[in-house]
Amino acid sequence: MSYISLEASLLDLEKNQQLIRIKEEVDPYLEMAAIHLRVHEAKGPALLFENVKGSRFRAVSNIFGTLERSRFIFRDTFQLVQQMISFKNDPVKALRHPIDNAKLFLAASKAIPLKNPFSKPVCYEEIHISDLPLIQHWPKDGGAFITLPQVYTEDIDHPGIHKANLGMYRIQLTGNDYQKDKEIGLHYQLHRGIGVHQSKANAKGLPLKVSCFIGGPPAHSVAAVMPLPEGLSEMSFAGVLGGRRFRYTYEDGFCISTDADFVIMGEVYPGENKPEGPFGDHLGYYSLQHPFPLMRVHKVYARKNAIWPFTVVGRPPQEDTSFGELIHELTGEAIPQEIPGLKEVHAVDAAGVHPLLLAIGSERYTPYSPTKQPAELLTIANHILGTGQLSLAKFLFITADDSRQLSAQKVQGFMEYLLERIDLRRDIHFYTQTTMDTLDYSGSALNSGSKVVLAAYGEQKRKLGTELPSAIKELNGFTNGGIPMPGIIALQSVPFVNYEQANKETRLLSEQLINKTEEINSFVMIILCDDSHFTSASLRNYLWVTYTRCNPSHDIYGVGAFTENKHWGCTGPLIIDARIKPHHAPVLEKDPVIEKRINRLFEIGGSLHGF
């Protein structure tokens, strides 16, 4: 289905019972987000809010709330896009069967953006930022944010749409020190194309022109988050996925998407920053207030009958999880084919994506050797940590499977396979004083922290324990042992005070276990946490607590730990301190008053009754 607008896609969803209209007035301050979260958790439909308090514009959320709905939206182009991505690695394959791939060549014609010969389309009217649905998602957010923006910038050295970047970087509309209707905040993280564009503009002492598109055909939003190969623009991808060429024009030197529901144009001047945030983010914590680029608003446009799309992020899984699943299905083997020896890679959503990466590689360096140990895997790991957004991974677990039956998508099975084979004396590799995901507050400062690679290969070394050993039950100072999955123990400890005290506590734990290795040798990890019942209650809880609250260089210890020739290892289980630290960001929590208030929509007579 080729949609000419956001509204066309919503009418299609409604026709197929995948959208509900909410006719009651709803408050953009916390209520709309709370409604979205409740419906999304129940795997519910898209939500069209027809009466937004304080704004004449409608709003929609949960469009991509399930992978099934995302597939439905792109049902006519999905397989063609998959083929095009696969042919990028083997273009001759398409030429061998030109008749069979005729549809593919036709679809490729949609990749060329179409310039409108006129400036501002007649369907647009000029409005102000304050006219928009100003949605605040979480109680401690710094104000209202755009959460599904398509932020467009051009290379000042190579202007024009073909060298442009379209990315999804959150925009703060209100709050903090922003001048009403005149200034908004632009937040972007490491390894984003917009950073290159701003650096070039800064070097010339010139402002960076920024256009923020909101809405338009759903393919435009997906294109903004798509990790595309070098040389393929987001606008070209949007045209192919949407089955409709990306339409644009220029006004006052700014690019305008003529299919977008809203367009905000502005300039970012060199050295102009203002505090942005806090914002309840996708790791399940608030990202805190930090200086980020200030965008001076030039003009704001809205289409006739425009609809404001938004999403709500928080502890995964949320709607952005479906984005990730959709991207994985579309790209297929594209990333592994770019890294020699890599067979599969999986960013674990339950751990917040970047904190935990699982990978399956090859081990072909020494086929003549009877000893199986990681070699090529370490080369692949270095390549992964030097590749685009994969380089933001904090924990990288990598292994090789000669039987080819292992899947990185099946997280527990993968983890058990690796833990059965890892040699804790040899297979732990740290990267210290390096970059970390901007949204991860486990490190020593913003964007700063460490990484660790756990690489395992060879024969099974242990059978993973599933029952709590008596040595754990008898510990002093550590209580409520639990097992979130085989081979891993969660232990409750006193609250974290500082790293000096943490060193003493982990040393005490190690000393109590050092002579009991036979009892505990079926366990590879001991997780110190604030609530071991919660951590061990599910695999999801273990993944979230452990990998979002740990800075590897600071928070990984070990029973019988040693350092030899700069290499760290241990003779017993790893000890991972996953307690909340004073410098960590607050956990996201729902407002009970708001939760009670939105019940009216789910009761008899409400738009969501019976859902």
**Tens digit of each residue's pLDDT (9 = 90 or more) over 509-521:** 999 999 998 889 9
Q: What's residue 94's pLDDT?
A: 45
Q: Nearest 5 degrees, angle CA 503-CA 507-CA 509?
A: 120
Hey, which residues does 257 pair with through a beta bridge?
A: 248
Sign of CA dihedral 19, 21, 26, 27: positive
pLDDT tens-place string over residues 521-571: 999 999 999 999 999 999 999 999 999 999 999 999 999 999 999 999 999
Q: Tens digit of pLDDT for each residue in 140-193?
A: 999 999 999 999 999 999 999 988 999 999 999 999 999 999 999 999 865 567
CATH class of 319-456: alpha beta
Q: Which residues of 295-304 are buried (b: 16+ CB within 10 A; e: fewer)?
A: bbbbbbbbbe
Instruction: Report the predicted TM-score, pTM, of the whole model to 2 decimal places.
Output: 0.92
SS3 9: helix
Q: Which CATH number fits domain 6-310: 2.60.40.420, 3.30.413.10, 2.30.110.10, 1.20.120.160?
A: 2.30.110.10
Placement of tokens 């090859």 in the chain: 362
Report the alpha-carbon angle 160-273-204, nearest 5. Answer: 45
Q: Is residue 468 a contact partner of residue 483, using CB atoms and an 8 Å limit?
A: yes
Beta bridge partners of 256: 249
- Phi first, then psi: what are they for 115, rounded to 5°? -85, 130
> Length of the chain, please?
611
Query: Residue type at 15?
Result: K
Instruction: Quote the CA–CA distance of 442 and 437 in Å, as a whole number.
Output: 10
Domain 470-577 architecture: 3-Layer(aba) Sandwich (3.40)
Residues 6+ apart with CB under 8 A from 387: 335, 338, 339
Cα distance between residue 279 and residue 281, in whole Å: 6
Domains in the chain: boundaries: 6-310, 319-456, 470-577
In terms of C-beta density within 10 A (0-12 exposed, 13-18 middle, 19 or more buried), how is residue 99 classed? exposed
Q: Do domains 319-456 and 470-577 have the same CATH topology?
A: yes
pLDDT in tens, 238-266: 999 999 999 999 999 999 999 999 999 99
